[in-house]
Structure 1
Amino acid sequence: MSVKIIIGYLRLFSRVLQQEQVDLSKVVSPELWKDFQACLDNPDEKDFDVERYASLLQAAQPHFTRPITLVLAEHANLQDLGLMGYLASTSIDLQQALQLLQRYYSLVFKQTNLEQLDVQQFPDYIQIVWSASYRDYREMYELNLALIFKIAQSIVQDALIPPQTIQFGYAPHTALYHFEKFYGCPIQIQQGHYAIRFSNQILKAKSIAADQQLNQVLSTQAQQSLNSVSSFEIQQQQFRQKIHSLIEQGLLQQEEVLQSYVAKRLHCSERTLQRQLKAYELNFQDVLDQYRLEQSKLYLQQGRSLSEIAERLNYADQSAFGRAFKRWTGVTPKQFLKSL
């Protein structure tokens, strides 16, 4: 199961494309565009994952002079974030809004996310931080950071004090000065984490639409949504995503024996890793194959060559990759591309 996002993100993207008169239907693969439209039309029946959303953002970028993530954030409204947006707007102040954001952040990803948002308070400042394990998600990380900033700006009564600093886990594909102008502060690149830091003064910034009675009702709804997925399913998904993250890191470092690498990163033996996987009804080869399948489809849609994909996914050559792909899907990579 891949990381899913709520319908608000898709509606926001669609709204911006319409307002800016950008047509991606002939730019992205027919399959991707069809799935995007199907999810917009039937959000209760269809899911859309972060990988495909990031692909859409990347495809749209050449049509904009500024980072698409910042354009989206500027057009966003509270409804686009679902329950999270309404919880933030009805909070007494920004401190309560941030506490609720931390508690219910996983609802934005339909509880399929691995990377938890953390609100850290220090004597002089507060920062919102989360890990960045997936290089291909960088636009999604940038978008969420910008959304948090814009929502904070929109719900407080007075002008929001600019952040002290912004941290990016990966260098953006567009110029940094766009982001520094947007946030009004310096941008630092430090691999592994995204963060936004404010002075503690912002915590008491009052909300324009504070309503504690409504906020409590919404909090109850949010908690019920969290409880709707079984604890085992959540833990299984989180563990699988953790293994996927470590597999990606191992591939980037060109590790030959991925299972051994993952076990070392988890500070356990390979046998212990196998037991942990078994406890979640998983096995390493299946998890690895799932990761490779998801990534290979993404790479194919991005137009990468078979030899490059084989190298990225640690296959001896493109023939070995082709055989594996056909075993997973029943078709060759070229046949898969023709079907798009």
Structure 2
Amino acid sequence: MSVKIIIGYLRLLNRVLQQEHIDLSKAVAPELWHDFRACLENPDEQEFDVERYTLLLQAAQAYFPRPITLVLAEHANLQDLGLMGYLASTSLDLEQALQLLQRYYSLVFKQTNLEQLSVQQFSQYIQIVWSASYCDYREMYELNLALILKIAQSIVQDALVPPQMIQFGYTPQMALYHFEKFYGCPIQIQAGQYAIRFSNQILQAKSIAADQQLNHVLSTQAQQSLNSMSSFEAQQQQFRQKIQSYIEQGLLQQEEVLQGYVAKRLHCSERTLQRQLKSYQLNFQDILDQYRLEQSKLYLQQGKSFSEIAERLNYADQSAFGRAFKRWTGVTPKQFLKL
């Protein structure tokens, strides 16, 4: 799975790196840094996914004594969250902002196939919850949790009452006391689920820039975007899955030219295949790399040798596989097994 994020996340990270005078170009793979810069310069033509963004966060962490996710949240503004940020700021109160957050949370991403957020209200408290199925997205989950608090603090007129509880779906890489200080409440760990809980008294906290007319216009725009995205992504996902299934078959049959094999199975030329991929905003090499990454992690966990994995994934040798794996993840296969 490849989930694209909006440009605001990249601009936020870039802003923090510039303010702290940090050059991350030597700490990450050249291709990763090139794609990051290219997307910043041409956001309408380039896309960036969560997997690569988390690699940048992991690399940036080495330059900070505190969790990079909290540093980013402290520097964030509503504009970084795009339409979602403007919807929150024009809401009448925090209750309306949370309702809109639940409805349009997926607009923070360019695809809707990430776990959905849920706002649950009880007699004494309200909590925002979402499941977390992908350990590789841990930093992204932490960042989004911190951004929810940041949004709430930014839009209300008076000081926000601290949360009653924060729950992490994965144990963070850094000590919990950093997070407890940031949130001002205890941190719990429950595998697979993130949550933030507030007392119900915060719901009536008034927004600084409440504008119901503008909020209605923005909500209509958000719903149109969501409808458009959902329709396109359903077709995109179906085509992606079809390509991936043929890639899998081609690897099993040890086909030398995978793209040619896939085009043949689709009864078209390679040029036509390229046009079809472009129409769905997909790239053949990205789909192949994603499949190889997921399979290589599975094979490593199953205890298969590096040479066997290289053969199964159609690499020239295990060194070529090792280089590709480090380019994807930032670590070697041996280091991955020790994580």
TM-score range, shorter chain: 0.7 to 0.9
Report the residue type matching 2:293 in the other structure: E
Q: Deviations 1:22-47 (Å, cap 9, x if unpaired)? A: 11100100000001001111111111
How much does 1:131 deviate?
A: 0.3
Partner of 1:47: 47
Report the residue type matching 2:292 in the other structure: L
Structure 1 stretches of 4+ moved >6 Å: 337-340
* Structure-2 change in CA distance of 1:293 and 1:121 (3 Å): same
- Give the distance between the partners of 1:294 and 1:218, measured in 2 at CA: 39
Partner of 1:332: 320
Q: Is the counterpart of residue 149 in structure 1 residue 149 in structure 2?
A: yes
* SS, match of residue 194 in structure 1: strand
| Counterparts of residues 54-69 of structure 1 (less than 5 Å) | 54-69=54-69
Partner of 1:79: 79
The unaligned stretches of length 5 or more in structure 1 are 242-287, 300-308
Q: Is the counterpart of residue 323 in structure 1 residue 322 in structure 2?
A: no
* SS, match of residue 166 in structure 2: strand
* SS, match of residue 229 in structure 1: helix
Partner of 1:120: 120
Report the residue type matching 1:311 in the other structure: L
Partner of 1:23: 23
How much does 1:156 deviate?
A: 0.2
Partner of 2:300: 311
* SS, match of residue 21 in structure 1: coil
Contact 2:116–2:130 (CA under 8 A) maintained in structure 1: yes
* SS, match of residue 126 in structure 1: strand
* Structure-2 change in CA distance of 1:218 and 1:197 (3 Å): same
Partner of 2:246: none
Partner of 2:173: 173
- Give the distance between the partners of 2:209 and 2:120, measured in 1 at CA: 25
Q: Is the counterpart of residue 161 in structure 1 residue 186 in structure 2?
A: no
How much does 1:234 deviate?
A: 3.4
- Give the distance between the partners of 1:35 and 1:56, measured in 2 at CA: 11
Partner of 2:254: none
- Give the distance between the partners of 2:327 and 2:180, measured in 1 at CA: 42
Percent identity for Structure 1 against Structure 2:
74
- Give the distance between the partners of 2:125 and 2:326, measured in 1 at CA: 53
The unaligned stretches of length 5 or more in structure 2 are 242-286, 329-339
How much does 1:76 deviate?
A: 0.2
* Structure-2 change in CA distance of 1:311 and 1:124 (3 Å): same
- Give the distance between the partners of 1:103 and 1:139, measured in 2 at CA: 23
Q: Deviations 1:187-237 (Å, cap 9, x if unpaired)? A: 001101000000000000000000001101111111111121353733874
* Structure-2 change in CA distance of 1:43 and 1:336 (3 Å): same
How much does 1:111 deviate?
A: 2.5
Partner of 1:111: 111
* Structure-2 change in CA distance of 1:339 and 1:93 (3 Å): closer
- Give the distance between the partners of 1:338 and 1:62, measured in 2 at CA: 18
Q: Is the counterpart of residue 130 in structure 1 residue 130 in structure 2?
A: yes
Report the residue type matching 1:171 in the other structure: T
- Give the distance between the partners of 2:110 and 2:324, measured in 1 at CA: 29
- Give the distance between the partners of 1:141 and 1:197, measured in 2 at CA: 16
Report the TM-score when normalising by structure 2: 0.77
How much does 1:295 deviate?
A: 3.8
Report the TM-score when normalising by structure 1: 0.76
Contact 1:94–1:152 (CA under 8 A) maintained in structure 2: yes
- Give the distance between the partners of 1:67 and 1:13, measured in 2 at CA: 13
Q: Is the counterpart of residue 101 in structure 1 residue 101 in structure 2?
A: yes
- Give the distance between the partners of 1:335 and 1:61, measured in 2 at CA: 23
Partner of 2:293: 294
* SS, match of residue 52 in structure 1: helix
- Give the distance between the partners of 2:167 and 2:234, measured in 1 at CA: 29
Q: In angstroms, what is the RMSD of aligned CA positions?
A: 2.7
- Give the distance between the partners of 1:202 and 1:83, measured in 2 at CA: 23
- Give the distance between the partners of 1:289 and 1:337, measured in 2 at CA: 13
Contact 1:94–1:205 (CA under 8 A) maintained in structure 2: yes
| Counterparts of residues 173-322 of structure 1 (less than 5 Å) | 173-231=173-231, 233-234=233-234, 237=237, 292-295=291-294, 310-312=299-301, 314=302, 316-322=304-310
Report the residue type matching 2:31 in the other structure: E
- Give the distance between the partners of 2:146 and 2:201, measured in 1 at CA: 20
* SS, match of residue 130 in structure 1: strand
* Structure-2 change in CA distance of 1:116 and 1:235 (3 Å): farther
Report the residue type matching 1:174 in the other structure: M
Contact 2:164–2:197 (CA under 8 A) maintained in structure 1: yes
Count the aligned residue pairs. Answer: 281
- Give the distance between the partners of 2:25 and 2:311, measured in 1 at CA: 31
- Give the distance between the partners of 1:222 and 1:9, measured in 2 at CA: 19
* Structure-2 change in CA distance of 1:173 and 1:121 (3 Å): same
